[in-house]
Amino acid sequence: MSWNDSEAPGSGPLDGIRVADFSRVLAGPFATMILADFGADVIKIEHPLGDDTRAWVPPVDENGMGSYFASVNRNKRSVVCDLRTDRGLAEARALALRADVVIENFRPGVMERYGLDYGTLKAERPELVYCSITGFGRTGGAALPGYDLLVQAVGGLMSVTGSPDSEPSKVGVALVDVLTGQNAVIGILAALRSRDETGRGQRVDVNLLSSLLAGLVNQASSTLATGVAPKRLGNAHPSIAPYETFRTLDDPIAVAVGTDKQFSALVQVLGVSELATDTRFGSNASRLAHRAVLKAMLEEQLETRPAVEWTARLSAARVPAGKVNSIAEALDLAALLGLAPIVPVTDAAGSRVSRQIANPIGLSDTPARYLRPPPLLGEHTGATFFNKEGALSALDA
């Protein structure tokens, strides 16, 4: 295996871009997987014990690999470099200096200790784009551990998640890591575009706390505008009603009414059209003021029929509504809608197939490609990696 353009993960908009990936767990690997999907050649540089998430089992996928690790590491190659040894450090440094992009999410100071920090590498490769992902930035929060749950707590997300009478709750997925990974991709692409114009690379800094604060959008804006902290509203919306989940005869249903026209259509379908002219519900502001009584009235009707029937009837009337699905049901829905949510990724020998959630970004001319399943630990150690001038190094297992 060679690190050259002909053997990059696939022809795509990032074909020829080489990424030395020192990141692990979620935010960094999610970012580099997106880059790899679009053609970047990503070398995942791992500790001899591997990315932490390799050991986060069960569950495992069809190949016995931890499903957490498998979810964010397709289209990459894995080499083992023990940075505590002279040989491992030399190999990691050689890969970093031939890369277009280095990405890392170590605690601040770790990469400096190994001479793999931006300042050191930039001195030899000024065109390098270097992305650092931290929990709380590289200055005042440098010593704080960057765990998604912790950031959801201190970043305010948990304060607005959960029902009014429950304790604060985290989101059911490491959403802050995902947002931060996406921001890392945006920053890297912006830096590469700037390099096209100037020939110079730059440092890209993203952190979990800033990513979350930006992702709070209207809730953060409300806090700035009013000085009042938003409260937990369960599945209700702070500015729109009815916009939440409701009980039906069987499963809960989500109804997302955003206009007076949609509200009129909703109550017409439910057989209580008189509510559209009730002064308590004639405008969004009045519906918000009487949210609890409105919900009780709507649920009284909704509880007479099953969720799937209401979904069909409301959707036909152009009222946004849908049953609260499981993840498996959500995948089935996406397939039914022709979105192809699951893609099989097969290795070159055809001996290993990994089912993956598809990249959500559609490009008409250079779509995402899926050419390598998530790598085994050190699967590509011992490969010879090349630059344009010739052999770089043989990374022996």
pLDDT score for 383: 73
Question: pTM score, two decimals?
Answer: 0.91
Which amino acid is present at 276? Answer: A
All residue ranges of the chain with pLDDT < 50 are 1-10, 386-391, 393, 395-397
pLDDT score for 3: 40
Q: Is 21 a catalytic residue?
A: no
pLDDT score for 190: 98
Could you count the other beta carbons within 10 Å of the beta carbon of residue 364? Answer: 5
Could you count the other beta carbons within 10 Å of the beta carbon of residue 312? Answer: 11
CA–CA distance, 13 with 248 (Å, rounded to integer)? 47
Q: Which two tokens stand for residue 76?
A: 């990459």
Could you count the other beta carbons within 10 Å of the beta carbon of residue 335? Answer: 12
pLDDT score for 382: 78
Nearest 5°: the CA angle 49, 111, 31 is 70
Q: Which residues pair with 384 in a beta bridge?
A: 394
pLDDT score for 11: 76
pLDDT score for 143: 84
pLDDT score for 174: 97
pLDDT score for 164: 92
pLDDT score for 18: 97
pLDDT score for 225: 95
Identify which of 115, 41, 45 has the alpha carbon closest to the alpha carbon of residue 80.
45
Q: Which domains does the chain have, with CATH numbers?
A: 5-215+339-394 (3.40.50.10540), 243-336 (3.30.1540.10)
- Say which residue the tokens 């921001």 belong to: 183
pLDDT tens digits, 235-252: 999 999 999 999 999 999
- Choose, from 52, 82, 177, 205, the residue flagged as catalytic: 177
